Structure 1
Amino acid sequence: MSKVELITSHLVTHLVEKIEQASTICILTSFVMKSGVELLQKPLKRAADRGADIKICTGDYLYITQPEALRKLHSIHEKMEIRLWNSNGVSFHPKAYLFHLEKEGHLVIGSSNLSKSALTSGVEWNVAIENDQEIFQEALDQFTKLMYHDQTITINEESIKAYHEKYEVYHQKHPNLARKWSQLEEIELMLPGIEPVRKEELEIHEKSEGYGEIKPRFAQIDALAELEKTVEEGYMSALVVMATGLGKTYLAGFFAQRFKRILFIAHREEILLQAKKFFSSIMKHRTFGIYNGKQKEAEADCLFASIYTLSLDQHLKIFQPNEFDLIIIDEFHHAAATSYQRVLDFFQPTFLLGITATPERNDNKDVYSICDGNVAYRIDFLEAIKQEWLAPFHYYGVYDETDYSQLTWLGTGYDEEELLQAQLKDEMADKILSSWKKYKKTRTIVFCSSIRQAAFLSSYFNQNGYQTISLTSKQTEYRREDVITLIDKGKIDAIFTVDLFNEGVDIPAVDTLLFVRPTESLTVFTQQIGRGLRLHPEKEHCVIIDLIGNYRNADIKLSLFNTEAQEGKAAKAIVPTVPNSCVIDLELHVVNLLKEMAKKRQPRKEKLLQSYLDLKQEIGRRPTYLELHLKGQADSIQYRQEFRSYISFLDWAEELKEHESRVFMKHKDWLAEVEKTGMVKSYKMVVLLAMLKRGPSQWAKLITPQEVAPFFHQYLTEKEYRKRIDFSDKESKRLWEYDEEKVSNLIIKMPMTKWSGSSKGMISFEQNEFTPNVHIEKDEEETLFNWTKEVCEYRLHYHFERKASH
């Protein structure tokens, strides 16, 4: 029986008691103060020492959170996970403490933030709820969604340093914090177009198109054939990249029929419900279950699980590692996130299938390595349009007069308040309305940058005689499924939204997309364009109306439409080449703006530096070369092009210590050689990796082909994708069974002879001995070894990733 208790004083006593007992501790608080952290510091450390799973999420709203409080939290225990919500000026007020005890969950929710006064003597009301598993699990699920949301960052020394700088700037600008806070709260309560909120449970249900008999169609046929081939060839994982609207979920269902027990993982509830519906229509004799905050149908043949629920230890460990034959990860470009990695590290399925429409996220390039670089099938939206599997588009670039260079850039987006001051003007709304009326067709989705902009524009359109609705994650006066039905039937003209329709939800009848936001993420822009490209009997083409100003990425976003764009490079021309059925029409002011932006583009060295510094802040230390490639915003190859080597860049950026700088100056030619030596195959770096296995003091000594041969063969045959890419031509295929003499002869003929011949004296291969010509002092060994290893590992990863994606 559930128990509810009201706590009006000294909450800290209650919290400490639960911390001492709990195996999982989750704290969600709008701000933290040093005084509050000090109260809980010792019990949290004791809990972490005994292995409790501790997660803390706080926010930067109005910069009330003290930098010293974050430092103190970070210092408690290395296994505690702490993240900071980037509010960009939007209110963030949660206060909740969740504890998973031996037999039940315990939830405290109320008014107390993590400060001494709030936890001890302040006037605070909090409610403790015990033995109500449904409420607790829902709270835990919602907490995890916030904890791992794209708007949160990991707390480490670098991110604290960056936050501290913003904190100081903000408080210099806003010394009267309490008055400013009150003003912002009042503004939110008086937003135009927002009615009182109803407490309704909201779900999005896609209105499915009737396809008659359910069988593979369009790109699904080719993709399914490639997946079947992948299984037959012995692979254990694969990635399928299919443009939005081609039926990735149905494809996964068709493929899943050959497996007995299936786990489908996604990060949105509506995707789980949709997938369950699709799978059950294909496999009528199986059982199907949901595993999320509310439902725990763990015994089903096909289980559809929320990543936010499954990633918690208490849920993950009710399963066996080999419980599932097939695991499917939807929207696979999220798979490099911490929550997914925890799940993928735990399970050992017979086969892992990743499906996505957008694999090119710069912060998740390593999704390829999760499925061993095996891209079984790929088709983007431009190719699908050519095949007439998606609707063509008519793109209109409309000039936005806003001077974005005057707005503060906060690393992930523009300052919310400054952006709103520019956007919430009648003249701006009138320009948007006029452009929409000029180009629109019948049913529109409008993508806005904030909830307040969506409400403002929806109200303005309605005042001018149109029927529109502002539908956002914070607004609940309408059921989302009802709004989707209204737009589908043509009962309303437009839906104004922020992020509800990026992934997993489609309205095929939508034939107009209106973008009234700066494009901060090219991935999100691609996802949103996909919302309008699904085929529909009443749609000949989709109209895309895009406001283009001098904001970040404005001059490269059109490269997404270019059928001739080269890998790693933005389109050179202002107007890209598109399928014949599509149109791109830019206003003259837009053409001139893009030309001007190209001339004034930030020098590449400065862009590379900023990308590096952003990543350093994210991970809390100097990133390795491979981390820079996997998680950095800039294309990693540009560091070599601009600086000869990554280490040379670090020296230029003054990121090397004095000793490191001396080592670099002495050995910069060697590091450049390892960076730039040509590689049709991976063989040179495999030889170097074999040498590095000998350790810092021995790696650069001479080595023979016979010594390298066992490692060389094992490395290239232990992973199917390596064998397929670099060890399956006529000559090397004969060496799948190890033969020392033949493998040694291949090493002599290929990497050793060719590298020594092209290295301009940096490497020798004489009398069957392969040697780098570097003289290394004792105090240089560790540094040069680590740098050489970094470059070697980066080049191997980059080589196989690039080959696998073709």
Structure 2
Amino acid sequence: MSKVQLITETLVDELVTAIEKASSIYILTSFVMKSGVEVLEKSLKRAIDRGAEVKICTGDYLFVTQPTALKKLIQLSEKIEVRLYRSNGKSFHPKAYLFQQGKQDGSIIIGSSNMSRSALTHGVEWSLLMDSSASIVTYEKALAEFMKLFLHEQTVPVNEETILEYENLYNKYHREHPELIRTWTKAEELELMIPKTKEEEVASTVIETKQSYGSITPRHAQIEALEALETVRDEGYDKAMCVMATGLGKTYLAGFFAENYQRVMFIAHREEILNQAKQSFQNIMPNRSFGIYNGIFKEYTSDCVFASIFTLANERHLKQFSRDSFDLIVMDELHHAAAKSYQKVLDYFQPAFFLGITATPDRMDGKDVYGICDGNVAYQLHFIEAIQRNWLSPFHYIGVYDETDYSQITWLGTRYDEEELLAVQLRDEMADKVFESWMNYKQTRTLGFCSSIKQSNFLANYFKSKGVKATSIHSQGSEYTRSDALRMIEQGQLEIIFTVDLFNEGTDIPSLDTLLFVRPTESLTVFTQQVGRGLRLFHGKEYCTIIDLIGNYRNADNKLSLLDTQSEEERKKSATLVPQVPENCLIDFDLGVVNLLQELRKKRQPRIEQLRHAYFELKQDIGRRPSYLELHLHGNANSIEYYQEFKSYVGFLYWAEELNDHEEKVFKAYEDWLKEVERTGMAKSYKMVVLSFMLSRGIQDWMNSVTPVEAAPHFHKYLTEKEYRKRIDFSDKQGKRLWEYDETKVAKLIADMPMSKWSGSSKGMLAFDEGVFQLTFDVAEEYNKTLYSWTKEICEYRLHRYFERRKK
């Protein structure tokens, strides 16, 4: 029976069904988006693998076709044939999908859908499907016309060279015509991140839910991050973190990575994050079992368990699981994990791999998270770089001067005294300044961040008195529920929502185009989270306006570095105080803000005071003097700066009066040795590996002499037990790898490299004579334990930092 069918939604379902059965697949589309390729790539790849013929013809009209889409197509297989129609400005708008099964049977779909995700999934598109039995003549004519166009003299084969040429033309065209299709293509990019249900589209919140078609595949930053994680895993690491800006699909990344593991635990601190993550993982792995483990549900036998950190922190619940219950543990919003409740859980479990994901691992906030993954950052993409790649919305940052003198308000270590702060915030003149700034710069939908519920309610009422559709949403009962408020701001029933910290994580409003900061920035992590609320891409949104009241509060100048494309060193040398933002962004300060920033720069603490402050913050946090490696992993200052200022970590401790009388004597007696261990060059890790062997012999014997043969087993084991060490560092002078143990070759390497070289550069502190390597000074018995401990700390720190740096 012949078939003619009108298709008005989810064309992809019909396409995938046809592709799975076809022996020949011909696609003619006026343009191709990367998102469209990603929708069909798995089905096309399977078809090619089973021997199906695949030909795709697209065009360059108005340079809508993305070069990345063309690259992705030809990467599917060497067997795929792709050609590009050079329109020379002539309209080129065909959209046809032709399929052949065997010699006679086939079908054709003609309509309005180009090869983009929007068109193939949920866009308003009409197509007509007709099988060959309805009209074999029409079907055959369509096949013939396709081949004429495919082989037309105006088409060129798509390969690396022709893509490079097209990419140059594409970039030139869009530099000259930035207004054309830019918003639309950004909307396409938005769809690459996380799919939405119909209910969520109404609410305009991006909650990760199941797609209505086929399998879900990684996209953009997720692909890069997965490749980095695979490399990390192959190199023998068992933990890593991924830093990805809000809006790039961190939860889906975790789900894709979890496909490699049988049992998985996903840990988060908010119930809605757990539920969203569960849905995301189900979308990726529908054949697995999934369960929630929190205060209400105890579904602990599932393949994938989504657990509340607050429930797991209870030992009875934690012990419900054996230590090796899970092959993979994922910690969401890793920046919370410096808290003791997290550390207890992390210390308990022994997974094959631990993955931390976060958007905000800022050292400047103190409780740094890098140490949780041993400093192993597999992938990092902050929001500035994501904006540069057009994966997040640009911003227009407006700095409005706030005359409040915050130096007169008591600082309580992590925040300002609330009552004193409210005394200056809850004034009509302050509210009028906020209102005037908002009116001058706002767009259509605003989220206002306040420092307290009282301030949030006060400003909402003040704005209402001015005729603005405003509300205050917080944790202690509000006029509307959060979901209702989101729906209302999307539909225009609200213009602005004031809140405290309720929207920092787990909830996104893509259509949000204005952010209003009426609170002093106390935490750079929170500031980054809140900025991220407005950077989701959305159809029709050209940029996000950020209106920020800037006063002389703490971190007022530091937070601006988060918007800067310059490196820290470039910022130090820069004559201007204004951050250098991406070219599609804008930054504008009141004169009062510029003057304030100049004043803050003059008053900025000297570096040694910053180092001192960072050290004592960490010491206070962990309750004892941190080791050198702990300072590097957990401190909120760059550890190398301690060496640059004081020539050794112990030298800093001496300056900071952190040494007792006994330790001061040890430091003064052996300062030259400590400086030597800190400063000696490390083109390779070998010196510190030999020193680690000497230290492994214990406190009483570490300073005894050693021969290359004695050091060889430890040396070889250390450099081969971790894949990354082996690949980075283990070869002789000729570059020959020494992965298989050969005592003679390894001993010769040790003699030639660390022992001879270090003795020659150590200013007489080490000697290597007649095959014996030794310290040339004696260590007093009463000082030995302390000097051993310090030497070991430096050795561990330098080895860790060496491989960390080399890996990057």
Q: TM-score under structure 2 normalisation?
A: 0.70
Cα displacement (A) at 1:687? 2.0
More divergent stretch after superposition (344-353 vs 684-693)? 344-353
Cα displacement (A) at 1:577? 2.4
- Secondary structure at the counterpart of residue 401 of structure 1: coil
Could you tell me how far apart the structure 2 residues matched to 1:448 and 1:663 are? 52
Of 458, 475, 480, the residue aligned with 2:460 is 458
Could you tell me how far apart the structure 1 residues matched to 2:520 and 2:605 are? 18
Could you tell me how far apart the structure 2 residues matched to 1:401 and 1:280 are? 51
RMSD: 2.7
Residue in structure 2 matched with residue 400 of structure 1 by the alignment:
402
- Secondary structure at the counterpart of residue 558 of structure 1: helix
What amino acid does structure 1 have at the position aligned with 2:527?
Answer: F
- Counting only pairs closer than 5 Å after superposition, residues 204-603 of structure 1 correspond to structure 2 as 206-208=205-207, 213=213, 214-228=216-230, 230-231=232-233, 235-361=237-363, 367-368=369-370, 370-371=372-373, 374-566=376-568, 572=574, 573-603=576-606
| Cα deviation 1:757-788 (Å, max 9, x = unaligned) | 33333333333332333332121111211222
- Counting only pairs closer than 5 Å after superposition, residues 117-196 of structure 1 correspond to structure 2 as none
More divergent stretch after superposition (773-782 vs 560-569)? 560-569
More divergent stretch after superposition (621-630 vs 204-213)? 204-213
Could you tell me how far apart the structure 1 residues matched to 2:557 and 2:258 are? 42
Cα 1:517–1:799 change in 2 (3 A) is farther
| Cα deviation 1:241-275 (Å, max 9, x = unaligned) | 22110111122223323433322111111110111
Cα 1:684–1:448 change in 2 (3 A) is farther
Cα 1:562–1:314 change in 2 (3 A) is same
Q: Does 1:774 align with 2:781?
A: no
Cα 1:479–1:639 change in 2 (3 A) is same
Could you tell me how far apart the structure 1 residues matched to 2:541 and 2:217 are? 24
Cα 1:651–1:232 change in 2 (3 A) is closer
Contact 1:562 1:571 in 2 (8 A): no
Residue in structure 1 matched with residue 696 of structure 2 by the alignment:
693
Cα 1:652–1:224 change in 2 (3 A) is closer
Asked which structure has the greater RCO (Cα within 8 Å, sep 6+), the reply is 1
More divergent stretch after superposition (402-411 vs 331-340)? 331-340
Cα 1:755–1:440 change in 2 (3 A) is farther
Contact 1:762 1:773 in 2 (8 A): yes
Cα displacement (A) at 1:392? 0.9
Contact 2:472 2:479 in 1 (8 A): no
- Secondary structure at the counterpart of residue 698 of structure 1: coil
What amino acid does structure 2 have at the position aligned with 1:681?
Answer: K
Cα displacement (A) at 1:345? 3.2
- Secondary structure at the counterpart of residue 532 of structure 1: coil
Contact 1:685 1:796 in 2 (8 A): yes
Identity level (%): 63
Cα 1:445–1:773 change in 2 (3 A) is farther
Cα displacement (A) at 1:290? 0.8
Q: Does 1:669 align with 2:672?
A: yes
Runs of 4+ in 1 over 6 A off after TM superposition: 209-212, 363-366, 567-571
Could you tell me how far apart the structure 2 residues matched to 1:728 and 1:348 are? 33
Cα displacement (A) at 1:372? 5.7
Residue in structure 1 matched with residue 67 of structure 2 by the alignment:
none
Could you tell me how far apart the structure 2 residues matched to 1:609 and 1:227 are? 35
In structure 1, the gaps of 5 or more residues are 1-203
Contact 1:558 1:574 in 2 (8 A): no
Residue in structure 2 matched with residue 754 of structure 1 by the alignment:
757
Could you tell me how far apart the structure 2 residues matched to 1:240 and 1:220 are? 10
Contact 1:363 1:632 in 2 (8 A): no
Q: Does 1:702 align with 2:705?
A: yes
Could you tell me how far apart the structure 1 residues matched to 2:570 and 2:293 are? 39
- Secondary structure at the counterpart of residue 533 of structure 2: helix
Residue in structure 1 matched with residue 198 of structure 2 by the alignment:
none
Could you tell me how far apart the structure 2 residues matched to 1:796 and 1:591 are? 44
Cα displacement (A) at 1:477? 4.4
More divergent stretch after superposition (501-510 vs 772-781)? 772-781
Cα 1:229–1:623 change in 2 (3 A) is closer
Q: How many residues align?
A: 602
Could you tell me how far apart the structure 2 residues matched to 1:366 and 1:568 are? 24
Contact 1:260 1:301 in 2 (8 A): yes
Cα displacement (A) at 1:475? 3.3
Could you tell me how far apart the structure 1 residues matched to 2:587 and 2:776 are? 55
- Secondary structure at the counterpart of residue 516 of structure 2: strand
Contact 1:372 1:719 in 2 (8 A): no
Larger Rg: 2
- Secondary structure at the counterpart of residue 773 of structure 2: strand
Contact 2:368 2:635 in 1 (8 A): no
Residue in structure 2 matched with residue 184 of structure 1 by the alignment:
none
Cα 1:708–1:243 change in 2 (3 A) is same
Q: Does 1:620 align with 2:623?
A: yes
Could you tell me how far apart the structure 1 residues matched to 2:349 and 2:558 are? 40
Could you tell me how far apart the structure 2 residues matched to 1:209 and 1:692 are? 51
Cα 1:731–1:318 change in 2 (3 A) is farther
- Secondary structure at the counterpart of residue 790 of structure 1: helix
Cα displacement (A) at 1:733? 6.7
Cα displacement (A) at 1:723? 3.2
Could you tell me how far apart the structure 2 residues matched to 1:413 and 1:704 are? 57
In structure 2, the gaps of 5 or more residues are 1-202
Cα displacement (A) at 1:369? 5.5
Of 632, 650, 660, the residue aligned with 1:647 is 650
Could you tell me how far apart the structure 2 residues matched to 1:513 and 1:365 are? 27
What amino acid does structure 1 have at the position aligned with 2:448?
Answer: V
| Cα deviation 1:442-498 (Å, max 9, x = unaligned) | 111122222222222222222222122222223344321111222232321222222
Q: TM-score under structure 1 normalisation?
A: 0.70
- Secondary structure at the counterpart of residue 514 of structure 1: strand
Cα displacement (A) at 1:294? 1.0
- Secondary structure at the counterpart of residue 265 of structure 2: strand
Residue in structure 2 matched with residue 723 of structure 1 by the alignment:
726
Could you tell me how far apart the structure 2 residues matched to 1:255 and 1:725 are? 25
Contact 1:397 1:545 in 2 (8 A): yes
Cα displacement (A) at 1:380? 1.9
